[in-house]
Homo-oligomer: A and B are copies of this chain.
């Protein structure tokens, strides 16, 4: 049996399609009696509105496009949080992932073609100009980096996050603290600069060492190998990684090389992902408060959609979660 249409419900309830449409979307107008008749008819027919038709008829859809990298644990966490944050707003999430063959631009295009009301970018590597170009096509909110001229940004304060980490490590007695860098991208840059600034403030600028890594375990392995090769006397006693996955790569290669964590080397991650919380991992990490980020993102987006002017970037304070991968340096 083909799906019931609005007209079917209308016929069964003995009213017009206009009335049914009004009732089902809870618009003022129809009387109580009509409302219940319509609801009953719709229920009996198992009616569900056709989104394409709705989207076409109103100018704006209630779809919120989210561009993410499905292979990224933090993105998964954010999607979960976003799902909670849109509940009750009337907005619906639609996901579009980047893959090895699809870049962010392509992912956004897909969403824009389905006439999403707005687009949310998670962990973008795009620059300001590219963002502005995209923002021309749809209201745009970027998570994890500052907004651009046309795009609003929602992010955790990375500089503050790295300060928390460096504070924690120096308090433990570390001075040779290295940073495993995440590569290109605004997020990576912000963290790297935060690290540098924090080291400088502690008078440790000369000891600051940025090691190339990346945003995955594989990148951590590279950085870890480089560090493990250094002689014990000059080797850093602590390493801060761009994110948890990277930190785990570093940790793994260190353990393999016979160095104990945290005794010989303290390791700190970023994101406080489920991985970091595992009983056997217990990685010290910076939590970006995904719930707060999600709430702020949705708030910015609805403001943008409502045409509220002067929407500003939101910065959420991160929090250091100390676990077992950091300790005072040996000796």
Interface residues of A (CB under 8 A from B): 3, 48-53, 55-56, 61, 68, 70-71, 73, 75-77, 79-80, 83-84, 87, 92, 94-97, 99-102, 109-110, 112-115, 137, 216-218, 221, 249, 252-253, 255-256, 274-275, 278-281
Contact = CB atoms under 8 A, between A and B. Distances in A.
A106 B31 CA distance: 30
A52 B95 contact: no
A101 B115 contact: no
A51 B113 contact: yes
Given A56-B52, A61-B52, A76 B83 contact: no
A99 B113 contact: no
A80 B99 contact: yes
A253 B83 CA distance: 33
Given A51-B115, A115-B52, A278 B80 contact: no
The residue among A52, A94, A96, A110 with the most chain B CB atoms within 10 A of its own CB is A52
Contact of A253 (B52, B217, B279): B279
Nearest to A59: B2
- Among all A-B residue pairs, the 9 with the closest Cβ atoms: A252-B280, A71-B76, A95-B95, A52-B55, A52-B52, A83-B99, A70-B76, A80-B99, A51-B114
Contacts of A279: 218, 221, 253
The residue among A79, A109, A280 with the most chain B CB atoms within 10 A of its own CB is A280
Given A217-B275, A218-B278, A281-B252, A51 B48 contact: no
The residue among A79, A83, A84, A109 with the most chain B CB atoms within 10 A of its own CB is A83
A43 to B, nearest CB: 15
The residue among A75, A77, A87, A99 with the most chain B CB atoms within 10 A of its own CB is A99
Given A221-B279, A280-B249, A52 B101 contact: no
Nearest to A79: B70
A48 B109 contact: yes
A90 to B, nearest CB: 14
A84 B101 contact: yes
Contacts of A70: 68, 70, 75-76, 79-80, 95
Contacts of A253: 279-280
Contacts of A281: 252
A271 to B, nearest CB: 13
29 contacts: A48-B109, A50-B115, A51-B114, A52-B52, A52-B53, A52-B61, A53-B56, A56-B56, A70-B75, A70-B79, A71-B73, A79-B97, A83-B97, A83-B99, A83-B101, A84-B101, A87-B101, A94-B95, A94-B110, A95-B97, A114-B114, A216-B274, A217-B274, A217-B278, A221-B278, A221-B279, A249-B280, A255-B280, A256-B280
A279 B256 CA distance: 10
Contacts of A109: 48
A198 B73 CA distance: 34
Nearest to A280: B252
